[in-house]
Amino acid sequence: MAPQSLHLECDRRLPDGSCLIRTYPSERDRRHETNAVVVRVIEYRPDGIADAEPKHQAT
């Protein structure tokens, strides 16, 4: 699960509402857009859990 404070920029939205993002092993790779790993991100809301954050992202 990714922290809610982490900004994940969606590269491609999938029909089920999830999206694909690119993540990088280092800041240098991010700047040069090299060695990217494509990850599917799924947002969900847990039901019946007291004090749960309203939205979560699973990668």
The answer to whether 57 touches 42, Cβ cutoff 8 Å, is yes
Query: Does some domain include residue 3?
Result: no
Query: Does some domain include residue 43?
Result: yes
**Containing structural domain, residue 50:** 12-58
Query: Does some domain include residue 7?
Result: no
Query: Does some domain include residue 1?
Result: no
Residue pLDDT, tens place only, 4-16: 555 668 899 999 9
Between strands 12-13 and 56-58, the pairing is: unpaired
Query: Does some domain include residue 52?
Result: yes
- Position 32 pLDDT exceeds 90: yes
Residue 32 tokens read as: 């040069």
For residue 49, what pLDDT band results from cuts at 50, 70 and 90? Answer: confident
Query: Does some domain include residue 5?
Result: no
Query: Does some domain include residue 23?
Result: yes
**What is the C-alpha separation between 59 and 40, in angstroms, rounded?**
6
Query: Does some domain include residue 6?
Result: no
The answer to whether 40 touches 15, Cβ cutoff 8 Å, is no
- The pLDDT, as a whole number, for residue 42 is 87
Domain count, the chain: 1
Question: Which is higher by pLDDT, 3 or 42?
Answer: 42
Segment 9-35 shows an average pLDDT of: 91
